[in-house]
Amino acid sequence: MSTRTHARTVVITAALMLGLAACAPAPTQPASQPAASQSPGAPGQVSGTITVFAAASLKATFTQLASDFEAKNPGTKVTLSFAGSSDLVTQITQGAPADVFASADTKNMTKLADAKLLDGAAKNFATNVLEIAVPPSNPASIASFADLARPGVKVVVCASQVPCGAAADTVEKAAGVTLAPVSEESSVTDVLGKVTSGEADAGLVYVTDVKGAGDKVMGIPFDESGKAVNTYPIATVGSSRNKELAAAFIAMVTGADGQKTLSAAGFGAS
Amino acid sequence: MKQDRNGGYGGVPRWIYVLAAAGGLFVVLPLAAMVVKVNWAHFIPLITSEASLQALGLSLRTSAASTVLCIVLGIPLALVLARGSFPGQRFLRSLVLLPLVLPPVVGGIALLYTFGRQGLLGRTLEVAGLQIAFSTTAVILAQTFVALPFLVVSLEGALRTAGNRYEAVAATLGAGPTTVLRRVTLPLVLPGLASGAVLSFARSLGEFGATLTFAGSLQGVTRTLPLEIYLQRETDADAAVALSLVLVAVAVAVVALAYRSPRAAQRAPAPSGARTTTAAAAGGAVR
Amino acid sequence: MTFSVQAAVAGRGFDVSLALGEAETVAVMGANGAGKSTLLNVIAGLLYPDSGTAELDGRTLFDLTAGRGRWTAPHRRGTALLAQEPLLFPHLSVLENVAFGPRSAGASKQAARETALRWLGEVEATELQSRRPAELSGGQAQRVAVARALAADPGLLLLDEPMAALDIQAAPLLRRLLKRVLAGRRAIIITHDVLDALMLADRVVILEDGRISEEGPTREVLQRPRSRFAAGLAGLNFVAGHITEHGLQAGGLNLYGHHDAAAPLPTGQPGVAVFPPSAVSVFPSEAHGSPRNSFAVTITDLEPRGDGIRVRAGEAGQLSADITPAASVDLGLAPGMQVYFVIKAGAVAIYPG
């Protein structure tokens, strides 16, 4: 009996420690408040700190958007955390301190909505379509989606379980072409990596990935990509301690400034 | 203070047991937490799906192959490191052990630039008609890369503990170096070699980062069990947990095998006299 | 058909030259670190000397004289080594252990087995043939090791203190066995035990600091030792100095004794004086009377010796006297005490060093 009590103490202690770790960013909030109070009463004035969980494909644009946001709203601080959308959902479900969640697909956002972990409805803010990425020399002379099915062409795609793979499946069906990929990666980054290293002759990635890779890969757009348009939703997380600031950030992403930055990175309007 | 069951003095302070228990819990608790999470109702269908079975089969086959490769390459390396004496020996040892401390993904990148299509050897191999990229061979290479140090460390330790006195005697009895190696050295360090091989197998079985980076992920060809778990996690947490449990079970079996056999060998009739020290020392490294 | 070796290992201050006849057994004796094992290892090919040559029955074992670098690998030398510990291969049975040499020499399984059985019979260990080394006693294992070494048919058998690790019951048995199998065989045996040298060897070689300090037929060396080490083995007091008309002068010490030679020895030459501890008496003060040797010494140690007490005295306790316990009590002897050692001149043998 005493051992059981002891074990419970251990578990509770561990839980408390985890809880403390999770709350760690909180103390910084009052510290940044004085900065905001310098111009009290200004309309739409926001302050404090928020943490934004965003899909890995948003890394470049959201880093830009966050610094723009901080510049326009002195006294605010936006902390960013990037990972695969499903990883982020798992983290938020397990109590990670997120204020805003930006997903690379609607499916993962729905998971959070179903779990009642969102504050209000999600807003779509961008779309992304697939593109063929080939090494700059285009060794297999790929010109169309159908070329990917040619024998001997080493093509790499995402596995069906991840959003980019689901999109690839849809495109395949729409084009009536069956691919025989040499590898089905679990992230679009891995697909891109296989193309930039020259291991693969071609890979199916997002337009934004091709743009982000600069001259390391060449992008080949194809018509069928329009059959699988990936929509990016964004929402405030229910457990947020600064919903006002979260809302302001979302407003910026969905507003004209945000859309301009997203469009420059290759994202489509939602 | 409690005495050892045989009446010997243990010499371990009591508070050490508390910390040791915490250490044990730290390892066991996460495993237990995972077991609790298993969806037992669907456990069998989850682990017997075609994708799961193919991944498990592939993992076992590639791990066995890489273990053989580790033995073939590791025995000479361990012998040279333990018995040889040449300039740069310490440096070579550090290099061989590097994969132990290297993040596997770094190993994967290194292999990519060696055996990949654009790699150092890959281009030559491709001309020779050998394509390693995206093949099961790539998986085996990645596993061997990360598992080789385990065999070398284990065997080198056994060789050093065994010393070379038996070998010297064998030589004066007229046995040439190859005969000595085959009939004396290897049989003497067999327990060390066996445990090294088992550890290599276990490390191969768990290999993830280097495989993902270097070999890709295709069902039945390059998608081993760890990669399958990683992928399943995206959509089906239950399947990921069930497969994780399978991997844990295999790993537990393998480790149990590795640490049981030398001790069983030790239970052989205790020798007496001066020979005991050398015989015990020979088996010492593997305990 | 001989064996000869001359080798130097600079790092160990080792420089030894030695030759053995057809069926000669030589005992090598010396203090720890004198270079005994170095000698065996050089001969067996386990240690590479800086210079020297060695030859066995017309074959060159090594020849490292200037410009040449011939080196025969250990397994081609025919110099089987029997160490202090039996070192039987633990994974092989007794029979397989003994058959190891013949098998390595290319004998068929059957032939090797027959040879092994013959040698097991020779060392009276036939009944142990299917055992594992771990199932043998120390004495049994060493007997099997002897059989294994002999089964390899070595041109020269090297024995490195084969009795040292055995318990007191097993040693005499193995000594008798070695006496039998070494008869008519060429062997070098390292030993600390004067009994081994007497029983097993035709000749004894004394190594001191990597060099041979004395060698000769065993009996002669023990009777007329010319080195402190050999005198110690024979249990004799030993003083080195210069010969005088009536004895020997060593530093400030004048010893009277008899010239142990056919004719009187020329004076001034290097010589040694040897006398047994039993011939030394101990007095608390200087004794008179002539011709007698009497000199002051400081006791360093007292130790039991048989029925009596051995009194060690002198700078490093290099002189000893054997007295009765009663005498020791009467004199109240203790280390650090100054006493007089008195030796009858007739008990002191003087001969050239």
Contacts across the B-C interface (CB distance below 8 Å):
107
* Nearest-angstrom CA–CA distance, A207 and B116: 26
The pLDDT, as a whole number, for residue C1 is 58
Q: Which residues of C touch B182 (CB under 8 A)?
A: none
C280, C319 Cβ separation under 8 angstroms: yes
Single-letter residue type at C26: V
pLDDT at B172 over 70: yes
Q: What is the pLDDT of residues A123-177, one digit of tens each?
A: 999 999 999 999 999 999 999 999 999 998 999 999 988 888 889 999 999 999 9
CA distance B198 to chain A (A): 29
pLDDT at B262 over 60: no
Cis-peptide into C291, omega within 30 deg: yes
| Residue A41: CA count within 13 A, CB half-sphere | 0
The pLDDT, as a whole number, for residue B127 is 81
CA distance B137 to chain A (A): 13
* CB spacing of A199 vs B118 below 8 angstroms: yes
The pLDDT, as a whole number, for residue C252 is 77
CA distance B63 to chain C (A): 29
Q: Which residue of B has its CA nearest to A159?
A: B231
Average pLDDT over every residue of A254-270: 91
Q: How many helices (H) and strands (E) does chain A have?
A: 10, 10
Contact with chain C for residue B18, Cβ under 8 A: no
CA distance B276 to chain C (A): 8
Which value, to the nearest 10 degrees, does the dihedral of the CA atoms of residues C17, C20, C21, C26 take? Answer: 130
Q: Among B175, B188, B268, select the one facing C104 at the smallest CB separation.
A: B175
Residues 6+ apart with CB under 8 A from A144: A220, A222
* CB spacing of C137 vs B270 below 8 angstroms: no
C92-to-A69, B155, C89, C114 alpha-carbon distances in Å: 79, 21, 6, 17
* CB spacing of C46 vs B172 below 8 angstroms: yes
Candidates A159, A173, A240, A237; CA nearest to A203 is: A159
* Nearest-angstrom CA–CA distance, C45 and C72: 7
* CB spacing of A190 vs B212 below 8 angstroms: yes
Single-letter residue type at C226: R
* CB spacing of B234 vs A156 below 8 angstroms: no
Q: Which residue of C has its CA nearest to B188?
A: C91
| Residue C65: CA count within 13 A, CB half-sphere | 8
Single-letter residue type at A30: P
Q: Which residues of B touch A84 (CB under 8 A)?
A: 234
Q: Among A185, A198, A200, select the one facing B217 at the smallest CB separation.
A: A185
The pLDDT, as a whole number, for residue C227 is 87
Report residue B186's pLDDT band, with 50, 70 and 90 as the boundaries: very high
- What angle, 0 to 180 degrees and rounded to 10, lies between the N-to-C axes of helices A256-264 and A59-72? 150
CB atoms within 10 A of CB B65: 18
Contact with chain B for residue A119, Cβ under 8 A: no
Contact with chain C for residue B173, Cβ under 8 A: yes
Q: Which residue of A has its CA nearest to B231?
A: A186
C41, C47 Cβ separation under 8 angstroms: yes
Share of chain B above pLDDT 90, in %: 46
pLDDT at B22 over 60: yes
* CB spacing of B176 vs C81 below 8 angstroms: no
CA distance A163 to chain B (A): 9
* Nearest-angstrom CA–CA distance, B94 and B89: 9
Candidates B73, B60, B92, B79; CA nearest to B207 is: B60
Contact with chain C for residue B260, Cβ under 8 A: no
Subunits with 3+ Cβ pairs within 8 Å of C are B
Q: Which residue of A has its CA nearest to B220?
A: A183
Contact with chain B for residue A136, Cβ under 8 A: no
Average pLDDT over every residue of B39-48: 88
Q: Which residue of C has its CA nearest to B189?
A: C91
The pLDDT, as a whole number, for residue A2 is 44
Residues 6+ apart with CB under 8 A from A110: none
Q: What is the pLDDT of residues A189-216, one digit of tens each?
A: 889 989 998 889 999 999 999 998 889 9
Report residue B11's pLDDT band, with 50, 70 and 90 as the boundaries: confident
Q: Which residue of A has its CA nearest to B133?
A: A199
pLDDT at A41 over 80: no
A54-to-A63, A78, A81, A100, A252 alpha-carbon distances in Å: 10, 12, 6, 8, 15
Contact with chain C for residue B178, Cβ under 8 A: no
CA distance A198 to chain B (A): 6
Q: Among C45, C73, C101, select the one facing B173 at the smallest CB separation.
A: C101
Mean pLDDT of chain A: 83
C47, B164 Cβ separation under 8 angstroms: no
Report residue A14's pLDDT band, with 50, 70 and 90 as the boundaries: very low
Q: Among B174, B175, B282, select the one facing C90 at the smallest CB separation.
A: B282
Burial label, C135 (beta-carbon count in 10 A; 0-12, 13-18, 19+): middle
* CB spacing of B116 vs A184 below 8 angstroms: no
* CB spacing of C84 vs B183 below 8 angstroms: no
pLDDT: is A33 or A55 the higher one? A55
* Nearest-angstrom CA–CA distance, A171 and A145: 9
* DSSP secondary structure letter of residue B220: T
B159, B79 Cβ separation under 8 angstroms: yes
* CB spacing of A197 vs B116 below 8 angstroms: yes
- Tell me the pairing of strands A183-185 and A155-158: parallel
Gyration radius (Cα) of chain A, Å: 22
* CB spacing of B217 vs A159 below 8 angstroms: yes
pLDDT along chain C (353 residues), means of 10: 89 92 92 92 93 92 85 93 93 96 94 95 93 94 94 94 87 90 92 89 93 91 88 88 87 83 81 90 76 82 88 80 89 89 88 84
Share of chain B above pLDDT 70, in %: 87
Subunits with 3+ Cβ pairs within 8 Å of B are A, C
Q: Which residues of B touch A190 (CB under 8 A)?
A: 212-213, 217
Single-letter residue type at A31: A
Q: Which residue of B has its CA nearest to A88?
A: B234
Following DSSP, what letter does each residue of A160-219 receive, concatenated? TTSHHHHHHHHHHHHHT-----SEEESSHHHHHHHHHTTSSSEEEEEHHHHHHTGGGSEE
* Nearest-angstrom CA–CA distance, B74 and A36: 64
B216, B26 Cβ separation under 8 angstroms: no
* Nearest-angstrom CA–CA distance, C115 and C121: 10
* DSSP secondary structure letter of residue C269: S
Pure H helices in chain C: 36-44, 94-98, 100-104, 109-122, 138-151, 170-182, 194-200, 218-223, 228-234, 325-331
* CB spacing of B217 vs A162 below 8 angstroms: no
C141, C169 Cβ separation under 8 angstroms: no
The pLDDT, as a whole number, for residue B6 is 61
Residues 6+ apart with CB under 8 A from B218: A181, A182, A183, A184, B134
pLDDT at A84 over 50: yes
Least confidently predicted of A47-61, B40-54, B173-187, B260-274: B260-274
* CB spacing of B173 vs C100 below 8 angstroms: yes
- Taking the alpha carbons of B234, B238, B243, B247 in that order, is the dihedral positive or negative? positive
* CB spacing of C138 vs B169 below 8 angstroms: no
CA distance C86 to chain B (A): 7
Candidates B188, B197, B135; CA nearest to B166 is: B188
pLDDT: is B118 or B170 the higher one? B170
Q: List the beta strands (DSSP E) in C228-291.
A: 237-243, 247-250, 253-256, 258-259, 270-275, 280-283
Report residue A30's pLDDT band, with 50, 70 and 90 as the boundaries: very low
Q: Would you say how long chain A is, in residues?
A: 270
Report residue B131's pLDDT band, with 50, 70 and 90 as the boundaries: confident
pTM: 0.77
* Nearest-angstrom CA–CA distance, C3 and C5: 7
Residues 6+ apart with CB under 8 A from C127: none
The pLDDT, as a whole number, for residue C190 is 95
Query: Is the pair A, C in contact (3+ CB pairs within 8 Å)?
Result: no
C340: tokens are 């007089």
Terminal C-alpha separation, chain C: 32
| Residue C340: CA count within 13 A, CB half-sphere | 12
C70 pairs with which residues across the strands?
Answer: C63
* DSSP secondary structure letter of residue B267: T
Helix (H, G, I), strand (E, B) or coil at B141: helix
Pure H helices in B84-217: 89-101, 104-115, 122-127, 136-162, 165-172, 177-180, 186-188, 190-206, 209-214
* CB spacing of A183 vs B232 below 8 angstroms: no
* Nearest-angstrom CA–CA distance, C305 and B30: 71
Burial label, A40 (beta-carbon count in 10 A; 0-12, 13-18, 19+): exposed
* CB spacing of B275 vs C89 below 8 angstroms: no
- What is the predicted ipTM? 0.82
